[in-house]
Chain A
Amino acid sequence: MADFEIPTIKEYPVIPHLQPGVSAHLKPFVAKADFQKSLSFPGELVENWEQKAVDKLGELTGKYRSLRVFLDSCVKCGACTDKCHYYLGTTDPKNMPVARQDLLRQVYRRYYTFAGKFFGKLGIPGFVGAKEMNKEVLDDWYSYYHQCSQCRRCSVYCPYGIDTAEISMAAREIMDSVGVGQKYCNEIIGKVFKVGNNLGLPQPALEDTLLGLEEDVKAATGFNVKFPLDQKGAEVLLVTPSADFFAEPHVDGLMGYAKVFHEAGVSWTVSSYASEAANFGMFIGSYENMRKVSLRIREAALELGVKRIVFGECGHAWRVAYSFLNTLAGPFDFLDQNYPIPQHICEFTYDLIQKGAIKFDKTANDHRVMTYHDSCNVARASRMGNTPGGQFKIPRAIIQATCNHFYDMPPDTIGEATYCCGGGGGLLTDDLIELRVKGALPRMEALKQVVENHGVTHMAAICAICKSQFTKVIPYYGFTMDQIVSVHQLVSDAIVLTRQ
């Protein structure tokens, strides 16, 4: 099944012995010149790139105070070392968060600290953990900053709160600025600019797909649940990952959102211009590209004259939406201020449940014994609802309102300690399948526990990447791809439709 060794799930999780360099070969395809240029990056490695990379690092540490603090403040306590799923899955010590950070920190030290400059001039920068910018460093960056899913689990355990995600974003931005980009992310961002979504799904295909879903829901339920596209004057603009239109089990979630809107009597629409919630600009650390992608949502909301913006099930999109959208693409003074701006589809559904406005027949999900995977960007970089921890409680409350059987995985693998699915941060690409399979190990261990102890049959998630990653990698661990479901798939199956 695979041309690499699949990690074995042990009786209990074990911190593995180190195997230096064992995952150095894992690196994604490099972006072609065309993909680079559509994002305003150089097409190939520029002349004098060493100096330009160092300059860019200086620019970023000057611009982002956080980055500078993270590079300055590590005391090498070791608390983060065993917290990364990629380290646990690959056993490569450079996947320990501190080691990953040091790949950038060594260059920062060499050029931007007194000690590094001094010992650098003496020819012994290594004496103070500093290193010259050279090809070997760049190669390490390309490998190991693409073995970080920017999930921020390590930062939870760091006594200084050092955020490796921000360091890996900066490193990717520096690499892009000297002409070394990653194919997967950069090709996709280009498609958003050109077509409106990651898939490159043009308006006619989107229309055809949505009409097909209307037919399917009608055939299954007898109700005329609509999937409106580009409908001016709708109350809600739904911004959802394009995978929701395209892939399984994502599409089952989309049908859930549609049924909720239908039953709530709230008019809604998808925009073909902003038909993507995902914003890979964040993964590559590019504020400019992140902003450009976000502005499409603003433009669509204005064009369609909606009153509210609701985001579908997408992890990092919710981080961008919840934490950054207002400064990236605001102010949203033209929207209805009585609702959260933007709102998560889980908040939307949860509110209706609280009001008793939608009803469920839980027995429709009785063939499922559920657990829930907290997606990293929702768990550690955003919130839902009005109370701390709402991002953990609300999705679980929806599952428990729609299913009779629910069990959580072990506490050190969920909530703010949740493990990444292994495919986040712009790594959900076939050229990194070995990394993805290995990085899923901690989640698979946790899943196996509840499968064995409680007979769990399905795991729900609210992130398109998590869903695609799991359906692809769980067969390597002896599970089947249909064990992964969307949270709103459970809603879809249990909701009692009454309105025609």
Chain B
Amino acid sequence: MPIEVNGKTLETDEEGYLSNLTEWEPAVAGIMAKLDNCELTDSHWEVINFLREYYEEYQIAPAVRVLTKAIGKKLGPDKGNSKYLYELFPYGPGKQACKYAGLPKPTGCV
């Protein structure tokens, strides 16, 4: 189902990920979150921004441990764990957060 972002129509795949990842802009995250009845806070954005930085460097989403460690360093050790990330992204940090951040969906046995 395509989504409307700032007057543009962006194609998404069956699971709601952007078809063309280069079309991502910050407003995309908010609109996708709304479709999931989720309101993005600064905490969500910390994760989304890290995902995008990592993706730009490595062309893949970070491993869960890489992500939790990075978030722990930024926001304090009590938040550097999957439990915290699942609170933010109940459908799974790897998948839900990647979708909002305009990253491809991690595939495989994960």
Q: Do the two chains belong together in a single complex?
A: yes
In the complex, chain B residues whose CB is within 8 Å of the CB of A53: none
Given that A245-B63, A248-B65 are contacting pairs, would A430 and B109 also be in contact in the complex, using a CB cutoff of 8 Å? Answer: no
Are A251 and B64 within 8 A (Cβ)? Answer: yes
- B107 interface neighbour in A184, A314, A465, Cβ under 8 Å: A184
A258 to chain B, nearest CB (A): 13
Identify which of A158-166, A193-201, A377-385 touches chain B.
Answer: A193-201
Residue-wise, chain A 458-475 has the 8 Å CB interface mask toward B (1 for contact) of 000000110110001000
Q: Does A415 contact B (CB under 8 A)?
A: no
Given that A216-B65, A245-B63, A248-B64 are contacting pairs, would A431 and B15 also be in contact in the complex, using a CB cutoff of 8 Å? Answer: yes
Which of A29, A247, A472 gathers most chain B CB within 10 Å? A247
Residue-wise, chain B 21-41 has the 8 Å CB interface mask toward A (1 for contact) of 000000000000000000000
In the complex, chain A residues whose CB is within 8 Å of the CB of B110: 199, 243, 246-247, 250, 464, 468
Are B59 and A205 within 8 A (Cβ)? Answer: yes
Q: Does B60 contact A (CB under 8 A)?
A: yes
C-alpha spacing A428/B110, complex, angstroms? 8
Q: Does A191 contact B (CB under 8 A)?
A: yes
Closest B residue, CB atoms, query A464: B109
Residue-wise, chain B 64-80 has the 8 Å CB interface mask toward A (1 for contact) of 11100100000000000
Which of B59, B104, B106, B110 gathers most chain A CB within 10 Å? B110
How many A-B residue contacts, CB cutoff 8 Å?
A: 89
A204 to chain B, nearest CB (A): 6
Closest A residue, CB atoms, query B64: A248
Chain A interface size, under 10 / 10 to 19 / 20 to 34 / 35 or more: 35 or more
Count, chain B residues at interface, CB 8 A: 24
Are A208 and B66 within 8 A (Cβ)? Answer: yes
C-alpha spacing A40/B65, complex, angstroms? 36
Closest B residue, CB atoms, query A207: B58
Closest B residue, CB atoms, query A247: B110
Are A199 and B15 within 8 A (Cβ)? Answer: no
Interface residue ranges of B68-99 to A (CB < 8 Å) = 69, 82-83, 86, 92, 94-95
In the complex, chain B residues whose CB is within 8 Å of the CB of A213: 65
A26 to chain B, nearest CB (A): 15
Closest B residue, CB atoms, query A480: B83
B3 to chain A, nearest CB (A): 19
A41 to chain B, nearest CB (A): 18
C-alpha spacing A468/B60, complex, angstroms? 19
Q: Does A187 contact B (CB under 8 A)?
A: yes
C-alpha spacing A245/B59, complex, angstroms? 16
Q: Does B7 contact A (CB under 8 A)?
A: no
Are B107 and A246 within 8 A (Cβ)? Answer: no
In the complex, chain A residues whose CB is within 8 Å of the CB of B92: 472
Interface residue ranges of B50-66 to A (CB < 8 Å) = 57-60, 62-66
Interface residue ranges of A176-207 to B (CB < 8 Å) = 183-184, 187-188, 191, 197-202, 204-205
Are B107 and A191 within 8 A (Cβ)? Answer: yes
Closest A residue, CB atoms, query B14: A29
Q: Does A439 contact B (CB under 8 A)?
A: no
C-alpha spacing A263/B9, complex, angstroms? 57
Are A468 and B65 within 8 A (Cβ)? Answer: no
Are A199 and B107 within 8 A (Cβ)? Answer: yes
Closest A residue, CB atoms, query B70: A212
Given that A205-B58, A208-B58, A247-B94 are contacting pairs, would A187 and B63 also be in contact in the complex, using a CB cutoff of 8 Å? Answer: no
Question: 21 interchain pairs (CB within 8 A)?
Answer: A197-B108, A198-B107, A199-B106, A200-B60, A200-B107, A201-B60, A204-B57, A208-B66, A209-B63, A216-B65, A241-B109, A246-B94, A246-B110, A247-B63, A250-B110, A251-B65, A278-B108, A464-B110, A467-B109, A472-B92, A481-B86
Mark B residues whose CB is within 8 Å of A. 14-15, 57-60, 62-66, 69, 82-83, 86, 92, 94-95, 104, 106-110
- 7 closest Cβ pairs, A-B complex: A198-B108, A464-B109, A205-B58, A243-B109, A247-B110, A246-B63, A199-B108
Mark A residues whose CB is within 8 Å of B. 29, 183-184, 187-188, 191, 197-202, 204-205, 208-209, 212-213, 216, 241-243, 245-248, 250-251, 278, 314, 428, 430-431, 464-465, 467-468, 472, 481-482
